[in-house]
Structure 1
Amino acid sequence: MDHTYQRPLQLPAGYSVLSAEEMTYTEGGAFSINITPQQVMAFGINVTVNLLGLMGRYAFQGAVSGMQNALNDGLSVGDAIGHYWGKLNTWSKVATIGMAGLGGYYAYCQARSIYLSIKNLVDAFKNTYNEIQAKKKAEQEAAEQQNCLPTLVALC
């Protein structure tokens, strides 16, 4: 009787031979999720930023459409703002103030970023100019020393 272990092993035509080291890195088709805390934090930040952006756009659209409706009804700008503010409930007023604060902070951050970018650019130009001036001065002093050298030799 022929036993299967006595015959040579028959493999399919498209097989790959893996060493023992390579076998340790295969997962054998198992489902695994490798999520790092940094990825969870990045996801949470993205969700928060997108949610705040969505709420801000919705609040801004609501305010603009409410103001347009009030102005179309013949109210002045001040009366339209008062009418719109009067229609808001307490939480809407809190959200409006909060979103206005976030908008103000965003404008401050953008203005500061622009200021720092311009300041860094001006500083870079100043530093480059000063380096060029220092290099010219050093070259000029070196040339003067070379010109003085023959005079000193002649005096000796």
Structure 2
Amino acid sequence: MDHTYQRPLQLPACCSVLSAEEMTYTEGGALSINITPEQVMAFGINATVNLLGMMGRYAFQAAVSGMQNALNDGLGVGDAIGHYWGKLNTWSKVATIGLAGLGGYYAYAQARSIYLSLKGFVTELKDAVDQYKADKQAAQEADQQNCLPTLVALC
């Protein structure tokens, strides 16, 4: 396109000149959100797990800090536990018991997962060894069957 000015056209730094061969989009660019129910469920599960993890870490850190303070003040372990437990209100005690239960269940789930993984590995390894032995036995029997006509012909 021709312009009648004597000097070159100067554009602001945020603009760029496009040649006629370059493609430009005249429609679109709007924000499009396609969220599936599976994504919503995964988000909810992740948010819940992260919230419980954060609460558990806070409760654990508070318990450890309280125990350390009690032990530093000269109390024995049993007295420190009693002192810490006595300082908690009812909801804190409920939350402590609940989070301890969740922590125990988490440890159980992890131990069970490790056990099942090892059991599956050992089972697969045993099946592979049994298959190898069966293949080796079949190969030996096939070799013996191949040798039998030769022995008969020699007689």
Cα deviation, residue 152, structure 1:
3.7
What secondary structure is seen at the aligned counterpart in 1 of 2:32? coil
Counterpart of 1:75?
Answer: 75
Provide the C-alpha distance between the structure 1 equivalents of 2:146 and 2:94, rounded to a whole number of angstroms.
Answer: 77
User: Does 1:147 find its partner at 2:154?
Assistant: no
How far apart are the structure 1 equivalents of 2:132 and 2:92?
A: 59
RMSD: 2.2
Seen in structure 2, the aligned counterparts of structure 1 residues 108 and 144 have a Cα distance that, compared at 3 Å, is same
Partners of 1:147 and 1:16 lie apart in 2 by 76
Once the two structures are TM-superposed, the CA of residue 151 in structure 1 deviates from its matched residue by: 3.3
Deviation at 1:74, TM superposition (A): 1.3
Amino acid at match of 2:74: G
In 1, the alpha carbon distance for the partners of 2:86 and 2:124 equals 52
**What's the CA shift for 1:36?**
2.1
Aligned twin of 2:3: none
Structure 2 gaps of 5+ residues are: 1-17
Change (3 A) 1:143 1:32: closer
1:34–1:149: structure 2 CA closer, same or farther, 3 Å change rule?
Answer: same
Moved over 6 A (4+): none
Instruction: Count residues in correspondence.
Output: 137
Deviations 1:63-87 (A, max 9, x none): 0001111111111111111111111
Q: Structure 2: how far apart are the matches of 1:55 and 1:69?
A: 21
Q: Map 1:1-156; keep pairs closer than 5 Å.
A: 13-14=19-20, 16=23, 26-27=27-28, 29-153=29-153
In structure 2, distance between residues paired with 1:62 and 1:142: 71
Q: When the two structures are superposed, what TM-score results if normalisation uses the length of structure 1?
A: 0.78
Provide closer, same or farther for how the CA distance between residues 59 and 153 of structure 1 changes in structure 2, counting only shifts above 3 A. same
Which letter maps to 1:36? T
Counterpart residue identity of residue 119, structure 2 = K
SS in 1 for 2:35: coil
Identity %: 66
Q: Deviations over 1:72-127 (max 9, x none)?
A: 11111111111111111111011001100110111011111111111112112211
Q: Which runs of 5+ in 1 are unaligned?
A: 1-11
- Give the TM-score normalised by the residue count of structure 2: 0.78
Q: Which whole-Å CA distance do the structure 2 matches of 1:37 and 1:87 have between them?
A: 44
